[in-house]
Structure 1
Amino acid sequence: MSGIIDFHTHAFPDRVASAAIPALEAEGNIRAHLDGTVAGLLASMDRAGIDRSVVCSIATRPEQFEPILRWSRAIRSERIVPLPSLHPADPDLLDHLALVQAQGFKGIKMHSYYQDYLLDDPRLDPLYASLAETGLILVIHAGYDIAYPRVRKADPGRIRAVCRRFPELKLVATHLGGWDEWEEVEQLLVGEPVWMELSFALEHLDGERVRRILLAHPADRLLFGTDSPWTDQAASLERLRQLRLPAELLTRITGANGRRLLGA
């Protein structure tokens, strides 16, 4: 295997994928490159030369926690690293986080738009404190979302506020720190103790600006990701390679940093 890790992908149970993908395509006015199944993701990984993919689920209602957890257990393998999801309105939020840890998962995924919350809401501080204490990873959607109105819910300023309140929190800000808010990413997040993942930046942002951000941010806090099935894994990897980054930095981004963060 290549050792390449895609730190941001999505998949659905087979019985759900056939309905979920068309609905999400219509919602975001975007075309999926895969059918949304784990089998489809694994085939894409083989084509792209990707060793492991982190599969991020999103609980849009609190009661989805348990079915997502069960499915995450079922798909977990050497190549698939599932992250279950907690909903901020879950009355058993901290108990469910403890269950995620007890069952050996590496962390959770949350999404401010699909779950309708503000990232820096103080009511989430107990969750962030528990994540920091346990060492579990928190992957968040960062910046605007193509399917929603432009209300600032997970912008670079809110991300920085959370990271400064909880400097030990392993927070991964997707979309290079904030989709379509990259000017603020450069102003507010570069140099901060936040992990930044690359999905949807390589396709939407000028390559020289991506390169500038990557060279300015701590080299050990950068991750390759694609948001598959919404981008093509092989094409995203090629776009990253075309940035002409130093070889050591490219190695860190595509695999070494992800292995360290996952603890394997």
Structure 2
Amino acid sequence: MAGYIDIHTHAFPDPVAKVAIPSLEKEGGIKAYLDGTVAGLLASMDRAGIEQSVLCSIATRPEQFAPILEWSKEIRSERIVPFPSLHPNDPLLLEHLQTVHDEGFKGIKMHSYYQDYFLDDPQLNELYEKMSQLGTILVIHAGYDIAFPRIRKADPQRILEACRQFPKLKLIATHLGGWDEWADVRTLLTGEPIYMELSFALDFLDQKRIRDILLSHPSEYLLFGTDSPWTDQATTLKMLAKLGLPEPLFEQIVGGNARRLLGSAGS
């Protein structure tokens, strides 16, 4: 393996995948590249030369915490790094965060649209503070979502304010800081010590704009991600390589930064 790490992927238990993938395809008007199973993801990783994938789950209801956690425990391995999910309306939110930490998971995934919350909701301050203390990584959906109305819930301004309020929070803003809000990303987020991963940016931004953002951001805060199964891992790697970035930066993005971040999680 080349040591590449994909920091943002999705899969489901096999029976759920058969239902979830067609439903999500219809909602978003997009075709999945994989069948949504862990086996399908591992096969994709083999084709792309990816060593590890972070598998992000999304709890659309508070009561999904336990089954997602149990499934995450079942599937984790040297190659699959599961991030369970917390729902913002969970009455046991802080207790469940502690459980995630105690079970050895390095991070969680939250999605402002599927979970219907705003990133800067003051009710989440205790969660962010405890995540900062535990060293738990928080992967958020950043920017708009193709399946939902264009209401700003986790936009670059909110991301900037949250990271400034909680400077020790290990927050990863997906989709290069905010899907289809890249003008604000360039103005507000580039240059800040905020992790950004690349999924669904290479597919939509021209090479000049994406190079500008990447070269203007602290190199240690850039991560490779694909949002698989919604993009193809091998193709996304090839698109990144075509940018002609300096080799040390490319190596940081595709593996070095993620390896360091994952290694520091939980501490």
Instruction: Name the TM-score class by shorter chain.
Output: over 0.9
2-structure distance, mates of 1:208, 1:22: 35
**Residues 183-202 of structure 1: pairs in structure 2 closer than 5 A:** 183-202=183-202
Shift of 1:192: 1.5
Tell me how far apart the structure 2 counterparts of residues 209 and 70 of structure 1 sit (CA, whole Å): 41
Q: Aligned pairs, how many?
A: 264
1:62 alignment partner in structure 2:
62
Which moves more between the two structures, 200-209 or 78-87? 200-209
After superposition, the CA RMSD in angstroms is: 0.6
Give the structure 1 partner of residue 106 of structure 2. 106
Amino acid paired to 2:67: P
CA distance in 1, matches of 2:131, 2:187: 26
Name the SS for the 1:24 alignment partner. helix
Consecutive unaligned residues of structure 1, counting only runs of 5 or more, are none
Give 1:208 deviation, angstroms: 1.2
Q: Which residue of structure 2 aligns with residue 236 of structure 1?
A: 236
Q: How does 1:141-220 map to 2 (within 5 A)?
A: 141-220=141-220
Give SS of 1:152's match.
coil
* Unpaired stretches in structure 2, ≥5 consecutive residues: none
CA distance in 1, matches of 2:192, 2:215: 14
> With structure 1 as the length reference, what TM-score do the two structures score?
0.99
Determine the structure 2 residue equivalent to 1:35.
Answer: 35
What SS class does the counterpart of residue 263 from structure 1 fall into?
A: helix
Question: Structure 2: how far apart are the matches of 1:262 and 1:253?
Answer: 13
Is 1:83 the counterpart of 2:87? The answer is no
SS in 2 for 1:175: coil
- The 3-state SS of whatever aligns with 1:55 is strand
Give the distance between the partners of 1:69 and 1:191, measured in 2 at CA.
Answer: 35
Aligned to 1:22: 22
Shift of 1:193: 1.9
Helix, strand or coil at the partner of 1:109: strand
Q: Give the TM-score normalised by the residue count of structure 2.
A: 0.98
Percentage identity across paired residues of the two chains: 70
Q: Distance in 1 between matches of 2:142 and 2:127?
A: 18
Distance 1:55 1:208 in 2: 30
Q: Match of 1:96, SS?
A: helix
**Does the residue aligned with 2:117 lie in a helix, a strand or coil?**
coil
Give SS of 1:125's match: helix
Paired with 2:110 and 2:204, the residues of 1 have a C-alpha distance of 22
Aligned to 1:49: 49
